[in-house]
Structures are given as C-alpha cells and as structure tokens.
Amino acid sequence: MSDQAVVIADANWKPKVLVVGTVLGALVGVGAAYLLIQRAENKDDTVHVGAGEAVKIGVLILGLLRSIANL
C-alpha cells in the first residue's frame, strides 16, 4: 500500500479531532466553573474573578495550548 492510499483512508480524521477537542474543552470549562462555584460557596460569597486572576488564567491557557501544539 502506498503512502498516498494511507492519507486518503485517513482523510476524515480532522473533524474527529475537532469534535473530541470541543467535547474535552467543554468538560474542562464546566469543571472549572464548578470549582469556582464550590470555592465561592465555601466562603459564603459570590464568584469574583478579578483582572489579575483573568490574566493568570489566560497565560496558563496559552501555555497549555503551546504544550499541546508541541506534542
């Protein structure tokens, strides 16, 4: 079997990767929101995400995406 035949057989892998990534991203987002809610409930407070925390989260997400891209 030639390399070209293998590429043609695996031509539909991109949508599968996008769907799996979307589902995993949604699950991670729901998990993060749940943890924020739990933290706020333990402190008898509401959820507050300040500018500093948002920047930290953004930098962490960019680092994670860079690590995934290097796989």
Query: What is the mean pLDDT for each group of 10 consecutive residues in the chain (71 residues)?
Result: 59 88 94 91 87 92 92 86
Output the pLDDT for position 11.
Answer: 72
pTM listed for this prediction: 0.66
Say how many residues make up the chain: 71
Output the pLDDT for position 45.
Answer: 87
Domain boundaries in the chain?
3-69
Distances (CA, A) of 49 to 19, 33, 39, 46, 55: 29, 11, 12, 10, 10
